[in-house]
A and B are shown apart, each in its own frame.
Chain A
Amino acid sequence: MDEQTHIETPRDRAPVIEPGHTFATITDKISSIVLTRPVSNGWLFGFGISFLITMILLYAIGYLFARGVGIWGVNIPVGWGFAIVNFVWWIGIGHAGTLISAILLLLRQAWRNSINRFAEAMTIFAVACAGMFPVLHLGRPWLAYWLFPYPNTMNYWPQFRSPLVWDVFAVSTYATTSILFWFIGLVPDLATLRDRAENPWAQKIYGLLAMGWRGSARHWSRYETAYLLLAGLATPLVLSVHTVVSFDFAIGIVPGWHTTIFPPYFVAGAIYSGFAMVLMLAIPIRKFYGLEDFITERHLQNSAKVMLATGLIVAYGYGIEAFMGWYSGNRYDAFLLWNRLHGPYHFWYWSLLTCNIGIPQLLWIPRMRNRPVPLFLISAVILTGMWLERFIIVVVSLHRDFLTSSWGMYYPTKWDWATFIGTLGFFTACMFLFLRLLPGISIFEMRTLLPEAEVKPE
């Protein structure tokens, strides 16, 4: 068979787990990263840098609390600047973690078992970064709890017809579900660490977190049912979260926001950027911790394919937006399209098209999907592109709407940048800590991938 007509069959695919492993080697290899491996200089360096950047975030937030949102570039007409761009970007990144842990579990994609744990951690840290922005953007962030319905002396209640209130419920439910799903997934592995740890403090802390897990068959039965149901609940939830985020825009009447394509196109974009982040984390992790046996080429290929598919859905979304600009016959929609292509922010719109539609087409080439370095770079390009997409949606739509007299420009200030870059540092610092303190790969789910985990008929 020659190169052109070669069709990939399951047999040709790289394995999910390299041959030669047993229950014991899997346990030892993953738990040793946490329990016995000394703190390396590389880890200290990486954590140190991201910790310093986290301090920049704290400084920017402290200054914001002292001075108010006036330190940011937001003003009328662009009242939603970096804060909302970053919020949508971060929460989108989180979606890949839930997709991997819940949707791929329901679809019985066993390859997910080696990447779901750190992808879920990524979700939690990304949602934490996302959650900061709307709160910081409130003006009086210390009153953020007013968004929740609770009996109070003001006799005031939230307005449930507003998509912004829906967002509070969607994001807080999502954060709660992600944390619980992740923690429940960790319990059997925490028990493994409890039984393997030599250090008495480690034994106590892991033991406390493992809650006395002993692997009883009755417990496993309830555990598996609960885990499956959680996956079934998280699946519609994750789709609803970015749908509700897109409602924040689509319910409004601003040209470029008021469209029905937004929910599916936002969800696809979320998964697109999320898988890019998964790859940007998985590629260095497997390299530096020597986990090529568990995070194999198969995982890289599959993630690349998901990115290619969701990227095409996103491209379709852009196409429909442009088509509707013309087909609707609405002069404001038509102007929005013109303004994107030729207006003051046109450079960023063209960059967005290059990053999200142009460069990712390289993933059609199989060699590109196998190699860590090109994949890492393409993922970085996609993350940039998806950030630009949110920038275009938020800023370019707002800066020139119906009345020419109310047009304006938006320029981010150094505090906008400090807050955004600060969350990148916070996210990375959390990932570094997670990899040191908890098993980055699910040990018990990896055991089930081995052939000897199957019960042979008598």
Chain B
Amino acid sequence: MKRTPIYGLMAEFDSPTDLVVAARKTYEAGYKKIDAYSPFPIEELSEAIGFHYNGVPLVVLVGGILGCLGGYLLQWWIATVSYPVNVGGRPYHSAPAFIVVTFEMTILFAVLAAVFGMLALNGLPMPYHPVFNVPRFAFATKDRFFLIVFSSDPRYSSTGTRTFLEGLKPRSISEVPS
């Protein structure tokens, strides 16, 4: 019989504090390929697993700048090049009148960048993921907190990592088949 490859080892905790403490200890023990799962955002958690920078602000900034420039240039090109209309002798390039649409386009593109950029960086939508193979993981969206050490971590070993995780006093430990 062929053994299913193992994706990682998962430990279950009861409270956000336990999870953050465990995540910190795991990271300090040298495991770098780890992740933690919680039913609500925990500020300290991403720091604890060594995730310090997320690319979302940059993506949003780029989106906003593109929207701003695109919105203004579109109006400038339409009003002066493609479809100039003389309204009471006002200049074709009437900058003050273009402010509103420029502003709205800045917001629109920044919002689209924030939403779709966040989803893309998170790799969502993702219909299948190995962690869902663990039946207890259904509680990760209710009231349980999980820590996983991926088998791709160089320090990972099925017995050594299990012993280490047991030392963190979790509620349960399960192997995650990939």
Contact = CB atoms under 8 A, between A and B. Distances in A.
A280 to B, nearest CB: 29
13 contacts: A24-B143, A156-B83, A161-B87, A173-B107, A195-B142, A213-B124, A217-B42, A219-B122, A221-B51, A229-B57, A233-B114, A234-B111, A240-B100
Given A165-B101, A216-B35, A229-B60, A157 B51 contact: no
Interface string A226-239: 10011001101100
A160 B97 contact: yes
Interface string A302-315: 00000000000000
Contacts of B42: 217, 220, 453, 455
A68 to B, nearest CB: 28
A444 interface: yes
A116 interface: no
Contacts of A166: 100-101, 104
Interface of B: 15-17, 20-21, 23, 35-46, 48-49, 51, 54-57, 60, 74-75, 78-79, 82-83, 85, 87, 90, 94, 97-98, 100-101, 103-105, 107-108, 110-112, 114-115, 117-119, 121-122, 124-129, 131-132, 137-143
B142 A23 contact: yes
Contacts of B125: 211-212
Contacts of B85: 159
B142 A229 contact: no
A188 interface: yes
Interface in A159-177: 159-161, 163, 165-166, 169-170, 173, 176-177
Contacts of B127: 212
Secondary structure dominating the interface of A:
helix
Contacts, number: 199
Given A170-B100, A211-B124, A195 B94 contact: no
Nearest to B138: A195
Q: Which of B48, B97, B104, B121 counts the most chain A CB atoms within 10 A?
A: B104
Contact of B37 (A170, A196, A217): A217
Given A161-B87, A180-B115, A237 B40 contact: no
Interface residues of A, number: 64
Nearest to B120: A222
Interface of A: 22-24, 27, 149, 155-161, 163, 165-166, 169-170, 173, 176-177, 180-181, 184, 188, 191-192, 194-196, 211-226, 229-230, 233-234, 236-237, 240, 244, 247, 444-445, 447-448, 452-456, 458
A263 B117 CA distance: 33
A34 B166 CA distance: 38
B5 to A, nearest CB: 19
Interface centre among A213, A220, A234, A453, by most chain B C-beta atoms within 10 angstroms, is A220
Given A170-B100, A226-B115, A160 B79 contact: yes
B140 A221 contact: no
A214 B16 contact: no
Contacts of A218: 35, 46, 49, 51, 54, 122
